[in-house]
A and B are shown apart, each in its own frame.
Chain A
């Protein structure tokens, strides 16, 4: 086993998680928890793949995926921002809705055959860096490079720009933002939309780049949930999100690849001979997600790790609510 190849594939796989995590991070920074990431990713994966098959243009596929998933996210936005319903319940419903829509519209899509994929390329010069160049900059999908740019840009946007300042204020203390003339409702709709678009992009990354094709709900295989866990692990910071996403991407690849060879480190590979061990390994990322979500739902701990203070609370503009 060549570990640089595993890591190289892991980065591509982690890009999926990265997009979904950063998208959810924006929504949560504005105070809206959206558990519908998995559903929106399925919508994105399905619509990207089918658009690409129909038109032959993968770029159009990416665009349609982002818009479709973004629009679906607005259902959640309407329910939790305007109707002020429970964000957890609405987010779960969105997951089922997204899965349902994509399964119906994607019916027959799995037999559709090949599509023109998004281009892969290497970055000249950077590939020459030992190890790093091989893992990060050699023969990666264009979307992987987009991911590299997205991380510092997101950080800069959140921490060093005026709209980023407003975003943080809306998620931390919406009434203070409202008192200074910031439209809390509009901001939240917008960032839920951003989260939806990013989830759609994550889905498109799967079906057009990382493991091309449409395999119904197995296409995403629960990565939306991992992304939600990663947001908490990242403590709502894009750089930490990137570390988490790439680490998990690499882990996913490793778990797949470790079951391949007959011999591992000079011993008979137990993961090859006992498939149940492989299943156990595949479970680990989800176990992590469950643990992180449980930790993240503890109020005291959430405060400690820097969750947006207004996360999960609808904003009600009460006349006497000061």
Chain B
């Protein structure tokens, strides 16, 4: 065994190691986020890091990026042991991370954001010089963005490019991307993949954190999997492993991808939104003539890249934002520009995007949180006073019915996990037997089990004949739950697609959903449906 590579000519020469993490331990109060995790990154590879929400992927990478300090274990970069006390140290060692929540100052330009925290320029900034420098760098890696644009003017996809540029400008060799596709439209994901491959071609290495099996098997050369802080796979070539196997490594059991969705029986229109215009917090137009309707017994989706008016739309419907023009009717009653109580009394349920601040009162108990809507009515209200006994009984019933895992119902909800908190909110909203429910990102940040639970509750609402409007950025979720999907782009509805609810064999369903995803993806980036159909017809001719 003098020369291993020559004796095995079929195996490619092993690329040198760029990063080696050995036995990393990181604890948070009550959670062992990383339990002796090993991780290796080769030069010039895209390394997928898979795991559910809360599996410890981001924690591990935050340790590598210098944001967290490990309690045990060593990090070697190009063979040298390193101890990072800040992201700055990590960047100096050539490791940069693009976080899920962008760290960009909205009121500043692209160039200003990239220069932030650097020693050059020393005092006076000659912005035009830096603008050209950054434009050139963007060109090299296929990251098109105007250096003079202010961050708030950019789409989320463009902001991500700025984050990547920020790291490339600092000369990093290893780029960590934390769930980069979560905020992108399908076409933008393609663009990101092109960029990542261009970076690999120019000698960089990429760590790609994701919980989506599909995209990891498309983009990654090798895959590592974390489950509950433990590495269940390290550096497996992605070609040699099936999706089912990866899913099992992630979740620890077989995953059923299908949901029990019965054929829809849509009834009368419950919610009617007509030509709604509204402004964002900044006073910019956020909704520009939205019209849509939701019938009883159906789930209608609103698809779109984050920040295209979904939040404002849900707020107008729930009564938390005024609309400048147009109206919202609930069972024929005008509920827009009235108070939220009016909507609630007319059968409105609202599962807001911000679970901890809008959806619940974090310091109040489970009981207080679940009676927030029905405390005016008996049995909770007795002679104009709260009957706490009845309230506790009600809360305990909901705890059982909705599988809320909590020691007692007097526990403050801030101590609950995301999935449990969402069940508390859903319990409150659904137990009022609403005629209509608007749910915004109800599964964001939840683990697979909790997501399943939320999906089942939404489908049960549909079965029970309620009208449900589901706002989500997860296309898969919309395709599996909804009867119809509207696509929103810059405050306008680009089009509406029907989702068939009968699932024939898997192959046909896949090709059908592939076409749908393409269509929805094009709408998400601003092409109206009628234009897509026209082009489709033209292509057939």
Contacts and interface: CB of A to CB of B under 8 A. Distances in A.
Interface in A158-174: 160-163, 165-166, 168-169, 172-173
A125 interface: no
A73 B282 CA distance: 32
A2 interface: no
Contacts of B257: none
Contacts of A179: 67, 87, 99, 103
Interface string A281-322: 000000000000000000010011010010000000001101
A166 B116 contact: yes
A175 interface: yes
Nearest to B68: A319
B410 interface: no
A150 interface: no
Given A165-B115, A169-B116, A304-B282, A322 B101 contact: yes
B393 to A, nearest CB: 36
A304 B127 CA distance: 26
Contacts of B104: 173, 176
A182 B107 contact: no
Contacts of A177: 105, 116-117
B107 A180 contact: no
B282 A162 contact: no
Contacts of A309: 106-107
A130 interface: no
Interface stretch (B118-126, B461-469, B515-523): B118-126
Given A179-B103, A300-B281, A322-B99, A161 B123 contact: yes
Interface in A214-265: none
Contact of A161 (B67, B116, B125): B125
A176 B122 contact: no
B117 A175 contact: no
A168 B107 contact: yes
Contacts of B124: 160-162
Contacts of A181: 86-88, 117
Interface in B256-299: 281-283
B490 interface: no
A319 to B, nearest CB: 6
Interface residues of A, number: 25
B125 A165 contact: yes
A300 B127 CA distance: 31
Nearest to A173: B105
A172 B105 contact: yes
Nearest to A180: B117
B283 A304 contact: yes
A13 B140 CA distance: 56
A309 B283 CA distance: 15
A291 B113 CA distance: 35
B116 A180 contact: yes
A172 B107 contact: yes
Contact of A160 (B118, B122, B125): B125
A48 B327 CA distance: 63
Contact of A303 (B112, B127, B282): B282
B108 interface: yes
Interface in A267-284: none
Nearest to B121: A162
B91 to A, nearest CB: 8
A256 B117 CA distance: 49
Contacts of A320: 28
Most chain B CB inside 10 Å of its own CB: which residue of A181, A300, A303, A319? A181
A173 B103 CA distance: 8
Given A161-B124, A165-B108, A180 B68 contact: no
B28 A319 contact: yes
A182 B116 contact: yes
Contacts of A160: 124-125, 127
Interface in B57-107: 62, 67-68, 86-88, 99, 101, 103-107
Contacts of A165: 108, 112, 115-116, 125
A235 to B, nearest CB: 12
Contacts of A182: 116-117
Contacts of B101: 322
B533 to A, nearest CB: 40
A161 B125 CA distance: 5
Interface in A175-189: 175-177, 179-182
Contacts of B62: 322
A163 B125 CA distance: 10
Contact of A306 (B107, B122, B125, B281): B107
B415 to A, nearest CB: 15
B107 A162 contact: no
B128 to A, nearest CB: 12
A304 B107 CA distance: 12
B283 A176 contact: no
B115 A162 contact: yes
Contact of A169 (B68, B108, B123): B108
Contacts of B118: 180
B34 to A, nearest CB: 13
B87 A162 contact: no
A306 B67 CA distance: 30
12 contacts: A161-B125, A162-B115, A162-B121, A166-B116, A166-B117, A172-B106, A177-B116, A180-B87, A304-B282, A306-B107, A319-B28, A322-B67
Given A169-B105, A180-B116, A319-B28, 6 more contacts: A160-B127, A162-B122, A165-B116, A172-B107, A177-B105, A303-B283
Interface of B: 28, 62, 67-68, 86-88, 99, 101, 103-108, 112-113, 115-118, 121-125, 127, 281-283
10 closest A-B pairs by CB = A180-B117, A181-B88, A176-B103, A304-B283, A173-B105, A172-B105, A181-B117, A179-B103, A169-B105, A182-B117
